[in-house]
Amino acid sequence: MIDLIIEMLSYPFLVRALLGGALVSLCASLLGVSLVLKRYSMIGDGLSHVSFGALSIALALGWSPLKVSIPVVILAAFFLLRITEKGKLRSDAAIAMISASALAVGITATSLTTGMTTDISSYMFGSILAMSPWDVGLAICLCGVVFGLFLLCYNKIFAVTFDENFARATGVKVSWYNVLIAVLTAVTIVLGMRMMGAMLISSLIIFPALTSMRVFKSFRGVVWSSGILSVVCFCIGMAASYRFSTPAGATVVLVNLAAFLLFMGTEALGRLVHSERR
């Protein structure tokens, strides 16, 4: 076990993947608590597909992928948030439509120019080699911002997540927080996507919050548990992926699924003990 870890840390690209990935997972899970509880989980999924479309076009045109996709995905985040907030159009259907369209645009743009190269495949399903030193730097900055937000505005985030209307009536700038969370989610997704894959990245947002909600009864507990769980699951997933030569993104998702089932079992067990004691 120890040998495996030492062996992994001897490859610089793996160290970068571990560090960058863990930070991105952490950000995704914290933002995910708010998104999942507000029933905005679909936004994460929609953004990852838009991000894929933007990346493919950037690649086809030979532009820098990050510089194109970050602004595009942030714009998409604004747009998806508006659709969901208005609630007039069937928002879940609208997001699904946008996801599929963005994916289609990406695939078409690619096949017209370079063809389905390994790059595209790694964007779809993730590649452990994707984290450049520059990406890791960006992940550290992002993590700083998300941490600062949760530390300084924790109570406001709670109020906005629990009850938007009440928060608004007591003078909290609700739309500002919604936009901020959506923008941070957009950056998180773009950063994590190339490692986790466009198809899998939204699981980083959704799984930790859902898993924690099985067992923890307080908002504070759910936030802490999600953060810790996401990093632990990511590291276990990376080690397993290295040991068994499986794709990194898929392995991390499977570890998250295992954690979810474990927590669900714990919850059921707790309920059983509780009812027996009565």
Partner 1 sequence: MSALITCSHVDFGYENHDAVIDLTMEINEGDYLCIVGENGSGKSTLIKGLLGLLKPTAGVLDMSGELRRTGIGYLPQQTAAQRDFPATVYEVVISGCLSRRGNRPFYSKKEKKLAMDHMEQLGIADLKGRCYRELSGGQQQRVLIARALCATRQLLILDEPVTGLDPWAIQDFYRLIRKLNKEEHVAVLMVTHDVASVVEQASKILHLKQRVVFYGTTKDYKASQAGRLFLGGETG
Q: Which residues bind partner 1 (CB under 8 A)?
A: 37-39, 151-156, 158-159, 162-163, 165-172, 212-213, 216-222
Rank residues 51 and 84 by Cβ distance to partner 1 and give the closer one.
84
CB of 81 to partner 1, least distance (A): 16
User: At its nearest, how many Å lie between partner 1 and the CB of residue 153?
Assistant: 7
Using an 8 Å Cβ cutoff, are 259 and 211 in contact? yes
Smallest separation (angstroms) from partner 1 to the CB of 156: 7
Nearest to 37, CA basis, from 178, 153, 170, 166: 178
Which CB atom, from 100 or from 272, has the smaller least distance to partner 1?
272
Residue with smaller CB distance to partner 1, 220 or 243: 220
Min separation Cβ 119 and partner 1, Å: 39
Nearer to partner 1, 61 or 169 (CB): 169
> What is the three-class DSSP state of 90?
coil
Q: CA–CA separation, 76 vs 73, rounded Å?
A: 5
Contact between residue 174 and residue 167 where contact means Cβ atoms under 8 Å apart:
yes
Amino acid at position 42, single letter: M
Are 215 and 154 within 8 A, CB to CB?
no
Which alpha helices (H) appear in 163-247, and where do they start and end?
164-169, 174-196, 202-215, 219-244
Nearest to partner 1 of 40, 234 (CB atom) = 40
Structure tokens at 187: 């950056």
Q: How far is the CB of 198 from partner 1 (least distance, A)?
A: 27
